[in-house]
Amino acid sequence: MENRWIWPFELKEKIGQGGMGVVYRARYVKNDREVAVKLLPPEIASDKKIVTRFERELEVLKKLKHPNIVYCFGGKCEGDQHFYAMELVEGGSLERLLKKRGRLPWEQVIEYSLQLCSALHFAHDHGFIHRDIKPGNLLLTNMGKLKLSDFGLARARSEARLTEHGKTMGTFHYMAPEQIRGKPPLSPQTDLYAMGCVMYEMLAGRPPFRGHAPAEILQKHLEKAPPPVSANAMDCPPKLESLIQDLLQKDAKKRPQSAIDVARALKQVTQSTSLDATTRELAVRNTQAARAVQDAMSSYDSDITPRTGYGSWLLSALVACLVVMIFLLGWNLYSVGGTGSSGRAGELWIEALKDPRPEVRRRAAEVLGEVGATTEGSIDALKSGISDTDRGVRLACVQALGELGGAAKHSLIELDKAKNDSDGYVSREAGEAYKKVSEAEEISSGLPEWFYYVAGFFTVVAGICTVYVRKIMREMNSKY
């Protein structure tokens, strides 16, 4: 260490330090790659409990290879050397981002939360509970990708506890009631409670419970309900606030059952909020169109005398027909495929699914799972993605098809083949997606194409007749 070497790594500046070790920026001498090296200094390496936890963290990270979990290259725990190398995440932590910006937009909170759900689901699926979810343990790449780190307190659900019975381990701002009491059993819901605390802090700019001393904060976790998120984040969608309330339930059984359930709820927040905005915009446009027609025709009333009662009735009928036709056209366009902007955006994501970078293809597949039902060609693009060489892209494609449900009926053959994927996780998700799609009702593509032509024709005819009748009525008025 005097020469700042721990072979085969050359240690550079220190980038982090905690009770479980020190992290250095380092150079791997065999290929000059920059990595992060975490090691136990001699002064704490004599503590057997700390060494045991360090060794456990190394073993856990070796088993958890996931895009949203910090990648571990391996390490050594022998004699007086205890270290391991992991990927270097340059963007800092979520904790640092929150200190800089205060709070985050709800759309960004959902994006980070979805990535955390993916990491937690993978860890829980492999039998591990993190037990220390907090902003400081969520690292961000320069591209905004979230990485879950620091598995020093993680434990397998099937293994004996390292923590003595009744002893509290974790960070008190984010600890679930059962974790505070130090009583088993801890479960995936313990991590989901901490995730709810982190989501609350991202939205509100403060953790759900604050106090002058740790004991006061821990007592609030056990007994108090947190203030509404909307008190500090007025733009927070109601469904997102409701989800956070569910995550912060004192009783673990009342929380969502898995990280997958949380991810589905987060996607529903995005979809429903987008749909509400589209519906409001369509309603405003229809109202404005109806008012414009009424305003344009209001001048006709002044030209109509009592002697032209039949013409007045005919004119009113034509105006009503014109308004109804305009509304039917607008409503059918909305119900069939959403707005034109979503269609154009979907086409861009279809192109992105061909990008050479796997992270871009994965993101494109996730987005097409949300807008695919409204974009022509998206289902075929996702079907092609099932055979992608990247495991993450294949996983994202089968999950996206599953989310589309009945709209993806024509993908059952590909999903059935994906159930035999070489990656066990992909094959399981393909089975789930196949079940969803096969059980869902097939979504109709809307009214037949000829409807547009017929409705457009009658709209034009109604407009011409309206102008013509107005002209005749004026001529009649001039005679009288």
Q: Which residues are catalytic?
A: 132
Output the 3-class SS for the chain.
CCCCEECCEEEEEEEEEECCEEEEEEEECCCCEEEEEEECCHHHHCCHHHHHHHHHHHHHHHHCCCCCECCEEEEEEECCEEEEEECCCCCCEHHHHHHHHCCCCHHHHHHHHHHHHHHHHHHHHCCEECCCCCHHHEEECCCCCEEECCCCCCEECCCCCCCCCCCCCCCHHHCCHHHHHCCCCCCHHHHHHHHHHHHHHHHHCCCCCCCCCHHHHHHHHHHCCCCCHHHCCCCCCHHHHHHHHHHCCCCHHHCCCCHHHHHHHHHHHHHHHHHHHHHHHHHHHHHHHHHHHHHHHHHHHCCCCHHHHHHHHHHHHHHHHHHHHHHHHHHHHHHHHCCHHHHHHHHHHHHHCCCCCHHHHHHHHHHHHHHHHHCCCHHHHHHHHCCCCCHHHHHHHHHHHHHHHHHHHHHHHHHHHHCCCCCHHHHHHHHHHHHHHHHCCCCCCCCCCHHHHHHHHHHHHHHHHHHHHHHHHHHHHHHC
